[in-house]
A and B are shown apart, each in its own frame.
Chain A
């Protein structure tokens, strides 16, 4: 954990996952990177873990993370740094046959 002041960010929870967050549509967590914030989130709400992470403990293919309007895949991935007040969104992409 960082030793300097805490960075509090807001994570937006998509509708179908709110049953795992006691109905909350947003959750405030501390974290200096996207990975920090998401790990803190799933520690607090363990039912989220299997929906966000695969068997290799990596974000599932269809799980996209945005910081503000920016997809972290075009930044530093899960190591994308966060600043206090950032809004982190969990956004599914959907496919099938």
Chain B
């Protein structure tokens, strides 16, 4: 994932705002000629889970369509999603893998501890859907984190 410090900060902020529940939303941007996702902005969304929002999140098809429309207005595409893990590490859970959607999306996870953002990681689903692979987070003109 190629992105900016502002995008990373906005993801962390949403995770902190949603704490102790999981916050979630969409990553908007473009796909580079190399197939990497370049994330330029966020589209915040509500966690649609009816219960257990501290441990689960859901974005509906209508949420996706709304984000897709917002992306097109900015001549962008939906290239991924993000969600927070309250008091849990920033790596995909078994549920994240079981319910994963398409390879090709970037899945960002931010860990929130006691309301404060900590680690932020990016992942992609393997083409055979068997596992998540960690993506580098590349900030052009800055160091790779």
Question: CB within 8 Å of B: which residues of A?
Answer: 14-19, 50-51, 62, 64, 66, 71, 89, 91-97
B60 beta carbon closer than 8 Å to chain A: yes
Question: Would A92 and B79 count as touching, CB distance under 8 A?
Answer: no
Question: Would B104 and A16 count as touching, CB distance under 8 A?
Answer: yes
Choice from B60, B93, B102, B104 contacting A96 with Cβ under 8 Å? B93
Q: A89-B65, A96-B56 are in contact. List 13 more A-B contacts (CB 8 A).
A: A14-B68, A14-B102, A15-B105, A18-B31, A64-B61, A66-B61, A92-B101, A93-B58, A93-B61, A94-B59, A95-B95, A96-B92, A96-B95
Q: Which residues of A contact B129 (CB under 8 A)?
A: 50
For chain B, which range describes its interface: under 10, 10 to 19, 20 to 34, or 35 or more residues?
20 to 34
Bound complex: CA A92 to CA B49 (Å): 16
Bound complex: CA A80 to CA B4 (Å): 43
Find the B residue at minimum CB distance from A12.
Answer: B68
Find the B residue at minimum CB distance from A93.
Answer: B61
Q: Which residues of B contact A91 (CB under 8 A)?
A: 61, 64-65, 68
Q: Which residues of B contact A50 (CB under 8 A)?
A: 129
Among B56, B65, B93, B96, the most chain A Cβ lie within 10 Å of the Cβ of B65
| Residue interface bits B46-68, CB-to-A below 8 A is 1, else 0 | 00010000011111110111001
B16 beta carbon closer than 8 Å to chain A: no
Q: Which residues of B contact A17 (CB under 8 A)?
A: 102, 104
Chain B nearest CB, measured from A18 CB (Å): 8
Bound complex: CA A94 to CA B47 (Å): 10
Chain B nearest CB, measured from A7 CB (Å): 24
Question: Would A93 and B60 count as touching, CB distance under 8 A?
Answer: yes
Question: Would A19 and B58 count as touching, CB distance under 8 A?
Answer: no
A93-B59, A94-B59 are contacts. A19–B104 as well, Cβ < 8 Å? yes
Bound complex: CA A14 to CA B102 (Å): 9
Chain A nearest CB, measured from B44 CB (Å): 14
